[in-house]
A = this chain, B = another copy of it.
Amino acid sequence: MQTGFTFSKLADHLASLGDVTVDDLDILAEMPSTIAHFSSHQAILRHGDEGHQCCLLLQGYLSWQDAEGTDGQITSISVPGDIADLQTLYRPRIHGNLVALGPAVVALVPHRFFRELSVRSPAISRTLLLMLLGDHAMQRNWTINLGSRDALTRVAHLLCEITTRLQNVGLSKDFRLSLPFTQSDLAATCSISPVHANRTIQELRRCNLVQWHGKTLTISDWPGLVRLARFDPAYLGFRSRDQGARSMQLQPAKGAVAPA
């Protein structure tokens, strides 16, 4: 939960998944990286590329999109502290396109660094594996989402998941988060048409669950949203220290949500 240094979100993420010591985190401070900025909808990796470095997301959001079609299905979303293409360490061939959702800041880290971690810090190495498994669990959960829930519930579930993951790295503590997605991005994620995405968001607003103006989302009624989405954060695999029962059950102060 320390702040300040460039990779603090990654440190938070790792700490939420496994046991990492201060010595382990010191190694991260030496991590060689190139910082890169991307603008909205800009591609970072393309289908067919071969990866030799990993994309650690520092700010913003990234998405994996299906290769085929013009406005391809979004299969997963990364938040700060995530390593979007960790699997390229073992399967370097890229399937689909890695695209920025809104402006994003990324640290590119050579594969070599992560390979050396297995001797320098087995704990981090093992926690990175847990990160991969976490990605898998999210993917499985999204299968359930697309398969068995309607549009309203899908959108609600996505918002719940993103909020929880942001809180896990110390963002959005007050249920107010930066969401630079277009409604079409949301539609591509939830597998609905852009028109229906719009109507769905309106319904969430009508139920006084969320406010979404411009690029800022405010969750007015977290317990209500969780109930609607039947959201259970267990699958994320986070330890319950900071994002668990305490803050999860707390409703944001009603005074803070005066209508615009």
Contact = CB atoms under 8 A, between A and B. Distances in A.
Interface string A62-81: 00101011001101100000
A219 B144 CA distance: 29
Given A69-B148, A87-B133, A132-B132, A143 B75 contact: yes
A95 B130 contact: no
Interface stretch (A51-59, A158-166, A229-237): A229-237
Interface residues of A, number: 35
Nearest to A129: B90
Contact of A230 (B68, B72, B93): B68
Nearest to A71: B148
Interface of A: 64, 66, 68-69, 72-73, 75-76, 87, 90-91, 93, 95-96, 126, 129-130, 132-133, 135-137, 139-140, 142-144, 146-148, 191, 230, 234-235, 237
